[in-house]
Amino acid sequence: MSLLDDRRLALVCALIFAVGIIGMACAPEVEEEPDPTEPEEPEYDFDAGIVISRGEEAETLDIQNTTHASANTTWELLGDSLVIFDEEGNPSPLIAEDWDVSDDGLVYTFYIRDDVTFHSGKELTAHDVEASFERWLSVEGSPTRGDLGEVESLEATDDYTFEIRLEEPHNAIWNVLASPYGTILNVENIDEEGDDWGTARAELIDGTGPFMLADWRRDDQMVLERNEDYVWGPEALYENTGPANIKEITFRVIPEETTRAAEIRRGNIHIDTGVPSAEIPSIKEAEHLVTIMNRPPSLSFLGINCEAAPLDDVKIRKALAHAINREEIVEVVRDGMGDPPYSFLRPGTPGYCPHDPLCFEDEIIRYDVDQAIELLEEAGWTEVDDDGIRMKDGERLESTLSISDTETAVVQGELVQSYAREIGMDIELNTMELAALFEHLRAADHEMFTMGVGYGRRGPDTLYWYHHPGQRPAPNRFYLEHDEMTELLELSRVTPDEEERQEAFCRIEQILLEEVPWIYLTYRDYLAAHDEKLENPQLEHAMYTFPKLLEVKVLSE
Amino acid sequence: MTEKPEQVAKAGLSARKGHWLIEGLQRMRKNRGAVVAGCAVLMFLFLAIVGPMLAPHDPVDTDPPNRFERPTLEHPFGRDHLGRCIFSRVLAGTRVSFFQGFIATGIALFFGGVLGIVAGYYGGVLDHLISRLVDVMMAFPGFLLAVTIVAALGPGIVNCMIAVGVSSIPRFVRLTRSDVLSFREQEFTEAARASGAKDFRIMFRHILPNVVGPLGVYSTLRLSTAILAAAGLSFLGLGAQPPTPEWGAMAAAGRGHLIRHPHMVLFPAAAIFLLVLAFNFLGDGLRDALDPRQSD
Amino acid sequence: MLMASYIVRRLLQMVPVLILVSVFVFFILHIAPGNPALMIAGPDASIEVIEEIEAELGLDLPLYEQYLRWAGNVVRGDLGRSLRTRIPVTEELLEYMPNTLALAFVSITISSILGIIIGVISAVRQNTPLDTGIVFVAVSGISAPSFVRALLLMWVFAITFEWFPISGRPAGPLFSLPVLHAMALPALALAIGGMASLARLSRSSFLEVLRQDYVRTARAKGLSERVVQYKHALKNAMLPVITILGFRLGAMFGGSVIVETVFAWPGVGRRIIGAIGTRDFPVIQGAVLMLATVYVLVNLLTDISYAYVDPRIRYD
């Protein structure tokens, strides 16, 4: 065996391996042949099943005892709430065909439809509604039951009338009543299994929705079947009020984004409501996929602890806000899916300033490095050390940004870090697991953090949670003491006067821009994709409220 | 890469007499694969020391408008999702990945070695206790152990090194212990004991030098495992803190862009691959060289 | 009878090991920052809600009391309930464990067969280019990070050539054809890691055996070289290989975490990672305990089977 042989062979092996890797990585995508036998007039398959991907399994289907997104999605299909928000964000009939609210805002009376049945065949009456709410309020540790406000009593005054009495007005109550948390459940089945009902046996999950749970293999797939008796779909949202046009829905759990995207490109998944940003180009290119942009009221932001030096100085907060190039963040972090934000509420969402010019037009903070540097110099940070970091009285201008360890949060954090460096501020990133981050932020020793908030259609109400002093240490993690804002927040909770409420929110937005406890980073858009053989899946709001899938039809093959 | 430390122990056993190291290295010179690997490791070591200085660009300097740029003359490995120069990052990352493996293995070597010597030398209850402890750690899947430790300590390079290091301690204990057992009753130990040497002195002056060989060989092999484990932790988001250029984290960050921008994964993955490959071959070569039975 | 008492003693030795494993997991998890109640309630929940959940889950008790409570239940065969799904942990494990065990089994089978074949070929062709090449390829396989390996396998064989499903576990019994089909890539991704070490080991032990007396005798008896190599030597060369199979299992369980995530395989590794993320203590403790038990038992089994293959081994 000569030396040359050996070496040559090793070289060849190495080459093959390297070429293999490159070839694999660059391998062209297999082109999907367009279906040549497209019928002239679409024919639909009403017995078809569709597959929807999800990144995480629903931990439990006990919707009164979870805030898990997958559970929410599932219950949009399995059940119905009393009311549902229409396109404008106003409550519209679902289980309740009508309702009254007393002038003092304390008594809500709902008139229940008389033709609704549970999947088990049991007829739904106001007593079931009462039992369902009673159970909700009795679940120890339910994360959502408090959102109903201070409930004095719940009562079915007759078979089709249900009354909620509150101890004090609570404008935000609609947010939960119209959400899947407010789904009316058949509590008889709950009693049978107690607290474990949400995961016990598929046949015990009994709602009134357009689909019924047929099979559930955890972390793998969940199968839903059409409810043939369903005719009470919300007219405000759907032309077809039931039954659905498809027979079966399968949710498949695929945690790894790359894998999920590969499956939908292959045609094994028919709906993906949250296409990962890195996969957007490849999904958009796939010919058999239709993409829909979701523009939910959803914001990612950088929050500042206004008590922690050096960020206790509003000038520094403002300087940092000026240093952030929001357009670029949208481009890089979200692949252009979103808008640069300049206020807490996304334009067009309820509560957003209705005036033109905006009430807070003059305060808006835009990308302006010169302005940022000027502010820092004004604040006395004039010296610069060898690394280009600003100094004042021998102290470096530095701070820590706590972020979760998800890819998006990290990329966003790295960008913020590089913007801060531009103006001479040193930001250390502190990434941690979500569980650790939550606890860290509660311990109140954070300086800055990034988070996202999807505030729903009645978003301004969330400002109360974020800024009322009574909400420290969380969700009020900003620690901004501002008496005027506190008063306005309290007013917004109880006033029955919509106009006064609106004025309050406009002023609050203005205060937030003056004090800069938030640096808004992006309004997030989400790309939903579906197979072209699905017609009208109504995914426009899927990130925020999953559709009941009553309209979707599947083209016959 | 072997899973059986005892195998390596034998290598040391048979090579302990004479100038085992020199003889071994001479034998190794015939193993071209190992020599090449050894040179590669030296080159990586060199890069780890001077790499950051050689980097043509600041490895943390972002340039978002030019992100995902394909390899060019100025940026031979292209640019990443934030427009950073991948070549500079890979260079700068050599130090991180290299020393991550080095220190993790060092931790395992130190604690594993000490526990192993103590267990092997004293025997009895102490040995029993340490052996049970090792059983416990062995029964805990190594990578999961590392994940749990990182969860407890929080992510970051240092914690990552500790986690990977601690999770490989048991193998070192086993190896050292079985080695020491065979020396405990040997003449030179007896002689030292007879001359009134203290236990501590016997353990570390007389026995230790004899187990250094196999331990060194095994460490070289474990280095590759440690580097891969650190990369795996980075894949799960538990590794180096951004924007530190760490190869595993870089490859993991690029995995979503694999189809369109393969260079983001290719270069850092190739760097890990080459370094680990080099350590594997070097370790193999060392073991073969120190085990005369295989040197025909 | 020696064997029986040996087995009993080994089984008894398992007990303290498992207790220590559980203590270790329990305390390290509880030192870790993160609060399951906070994960359940969400980051914005009020302090009252969180305290309520903590009380509900018994998280407000002193640590040792929590452990004793849990351990007491384990002794009675009750691993507790998941804090998140509220399913009994035993039930969850029965759901996830078979998937992981099947994956580990298939992948150990693949890696043993390939590893031994490669090892034997390179031993027989010792120091030829074939030997060098094979060793190089084998070592290359384990030198790539496992997630890169898994993604590449998926990319080539599932996405580009469409020979295998991309991800998931089809419905049906574990060893039915569609399930095995879907298992092939994740199992291969796991197997490559073990293959190289098995190849190395079987190569060196095969070489050693070839030099031994009885092989020489067989040769002297005039048996053809091929028969000598494959019949006599192979059997004896397998001994050390068997011993490391037990060790491999631990690495398999560890590696399954990443492979199961990439291929969306509903296995226990992925479940543990999810549970660590949400601080679902009972699930992590239960799953780790179960994995440790399987690991210890399999190692006992390999030791016993070792004795069958090689009667020279004594138990003392």
Residue-level pLDDT at A479: 92
Structure confidence at residue A115 as a pLDDT band (50, 70, 90): very high
Q: Report, as an integer, the average pLDDT of A463-489.
A: 89
Task: Determine the Cα angle at C86 with ends C82 and C92, to 5°.
Answer: 60
Cα torsion B206, B210, B211, B212: sign:
positive
CATH topology of domain B39-61+77-295: MetI-like fold (1.10.3720)
Above 60 in pLDDT, residue A33?
no
* Other beta carbons less than 10 A from residue A398's beta carbon: 15
Nearest to A171 by CA among A455, A458, A509: A458
**Contact: B61, A418; criterion CB under 8 Å:** yes
Q: Which helix (H) or strand (E) holds C27?
A: helix C2-31
Question: Mean pLDDT lowest for which of A200-204, A446-450, C81-85?
Answer: A200-204
H or E element, residue A426: strand A426-432
Q: What are the chain C neighbours of A143 within 8 Å (beta carbons)?
A: 40-42, 45, 49, 53
pLDDT for the residue numbered A40: 64
pLDDT at A320 over 50: yes
User: B3–C18: do the CB atoms touch at under 8 Å?
Assistant: no
pLDDT at A461 over 50: yes
For the cut 70, the answer to whether the pLDDT of residue B3 exceeds it is no
pLDDT, one tens digit per residue, over A158-172 is: 999 999 999 988 878
Rounded CA separation A397/A388 (Å): 10
**Chain B: residues touching A (Cβ < 8 Å):** 32-33, 36, 60-62, 64-65, 67, 81-82, 151, 154-155, 237-238, 241-243, 253, 255-260, 262, 265-266, 269-270
Report the SS3 class of residue B73.
coil
How far is the C-alpha of C94 from the C-alpha of C102, rounded, in Å?
13
Beta-carbon-side half-sphere exposure of residue A292 (alpha carbons within 13 Å): 20
What residue type is assigned to position A286 of the chain? A
Query: In sequence order, what are the beta bridge partners of A529?
Result: A272, A291
User: Is A202 within 8 Å of A221 (Cβ atoms)?
Assistant: no
Would the CA dihedral through A117, A123, A128, A132 be positive or negative? negative
Q: What are the distances in angstroms from CA A334 to CA A83, A136, A278, A419, B218?
A: 33, 37, 8, 17, 46
Asked if pLDDT for residue C246 goes beyond 80, the answer is no
Average pLDDT on B85-96 reads: 91
Range A415-424 average pLDDT: 94
Per the model's pLDDT, the better-predicted residue between C121 and A520 turns out to be: A520
CA–CA dist B1, B4 (Å, integer) = 9
| pLDDT for position A554 | 93
> Do residues C230 and C121 lie in contact, with contact meaning Cβ atoms separated by under 8 Å?
no
Task: Give residue A400's pLDDT.
Answer: 94
Q: Do A405 and B155 touch (CB under 8 A)?
A: yes
Q: Please name the residue that has the structure tokens 């974020």.
A: A466
- DSSP 8-state secondary structure symbol assigned to residue A525: P
Q: What is the mean pLDDT of residues A142-146?
A: 81
Token pair of A339 as six digits: 């808008």
Does any CB of chain B come closer than 8 Å to the CB of residue A327?
no
Q: Tell whether the model's pLDDT for residue B13 goes beyond 80.
A: no
Cβ of B136 within 8 Å of Cβ of C143? The answer is no
pLDDT value of residue B22: 72
Chain B contact set for A264 (CB, 8 A): none
- CA-nearest of B124, B112, B110, B99 to B44 is B99
The angle formed by the CA atoms of residues A64, A67 and A69, to the nearest 5 degrees, is 120
What proportion of chain B, given as a percentage, has pLDDT over 70? 89
The pTM assigned to this predicted structure is 0.80
In chain A, % of residues over pLDDT 70: 92
Query: Nearest C-alpha of chain C: how many angstroms from A147?
Result: 10
pLDDT of amino acid B15: 42
Does A7 score more than 50 pLDDT? Answer: no
- Position A118 confidence tier, pLDDT thresholds 50, 70, 90: very high
Higher pLDDT, C115 or A89: C115
A104-140 CB burial, b ≥16 within 10 A, e <16: ebbebbbebbeebebbeeeebbbbbbbbbbebbeebe
What pLDDT, on the 0 to 100 scale, is given for residue A242? Answer: 82
pLDDT of residue C225: 67
Q: Which amino acid is at B40?
A: A
Taking only residues 250 to 269 of chain C, the set having a beta carbon closer than 8 angstroms to any beta carbon of chain B reads 250-251, 253-255, 257-258, 269
pLDDT of residue C229: 65
In this prediction, residue B12 carries a pLDDT of: 44
Subunit contact A418:B67, Cβ cutoff 8 A: no
- Point out the residue among C16, C136, C143 whose CB comes nearest to the CB of B132: C16
- Report d(CA C189, CA B156) in Å as an integer: 27
Confirm if B31 and B294 have CB atoms less than 8 A apart: no
Percentage, residues of chain C above pLDDT 90: 9
Asked if B247 and B255 touch (Cβ cutoff 8 Å), the reply is: no
pLDDT confidence bin for A458, thresholds 50/70/90: low
Residue B162 and residue B107 in contact, taking contact as beta carbons nearer than 8 Å? yes
* Per-residue tokens: C228: 């000598």
User: What type of residue is B192?
Assistant: A
Query: A3-18: string of b/e by CB count within 10 Å (b at 16+)?
Result: eeebeebbeebeeebe
Q: What is the pLDDT of residue A36?
A: 53
**Does residue B4 belong to the interface with chain C, where contact is any CB pair within 8 Å?**
yes
Most C CBs within 10 Å, among B8, B133, B140, to test the C interface: B140
* pLDDT the model gives residue A25: 44
Ranges A495-499, C14-18, C211-215: which has the least confidence: C211-215
Query: What does DSSP say about strands A96-101 and A107-112: parallel, antiparallel, or unpaired?
Result: antiparallel
Q: How far apart are CA A128 and CA A123, in angstroms?
A: 9
Report yes or no: C163 at the A interface, CB cutoff 8 Å.
no
Q: How many CB contacts within 8 angstroms connect chain B with chain C? A: 149
Every domain of chain B and the residues it spans: 39-61+77-295
- Which residue, B139, A79, B193, A14, is CA-closest to C300? B139
DSSP per residue, B145-211: HHHHHHHHH-SSHHHHHHHHHHHTHHHHHHHHHHHHHHHHTSHHHHHHHHTT--HHHIIIIIIHHHH
Chain-chain contact of B255 with C144 (C-beta, under 8 angstroms): no
Q: Which two tokens mark A242?
A: 């039931």
The pLDDT score that the predictor gives to residue B9 is 43
For residue C95, is pLDDT > 50? yes
Q: Enter the tokens of residue B4.
A: 């059986």
Measured in degrees and rounded to the nearest 5, phi and psi for residue A61 equal: -100, 10
Q: Is A319 helix (H, G, I), strand (E, B) or coil?
A: helix
**Which chain B residues touch C291 with a CB distance below 8 Å?**
140-141, 144
On the question of pLDDT at C312 being above 70, the answer is no
pLDDT the model gives residue B11: 43
Strand bridging mode A338-339 / A448-454: unpaired
pLDDT confidence tier of residue B31, bands split at 50, 70 and 90? confident
CA-derived radius of gyration, chain B? 22
Average pLDDT over residues B150-175: 86
- Determine the residue type at A45: D
User: Smallest CA–CA separation between B293 and chain C, in Å?
Assistant: 8
Best of A405, A419, A421, A434 to disrupt the B interface by mutation (most B CBs within 10 Å)?
A: A405
Structure tokens at B147: 């994940």
The answer to whether B193 and B202 are in contact (CB under 8 A) is yes
Q: Which tokens sit at A189?
A: 């089945």
CB count within 10 Å of CB A368 equals: 15
Q: Are C53 and C42 in contact (CB under 8 A)?
A: no
Q: What is the pLDDT of residue C132?
A: 79
The CATH fold assigned to C89-309 is MetI-like fold (1.10.3720)
Radius of gyration of chain A (CA): 27
Number of A–B residue contacts, CB under 8 Å: 81
Q: Which residues pair with A225 in a beta bridge?
A: A212, A248
- Please answer yes or no on whether A218 and C151 come within 8 Å at the CB atom: no
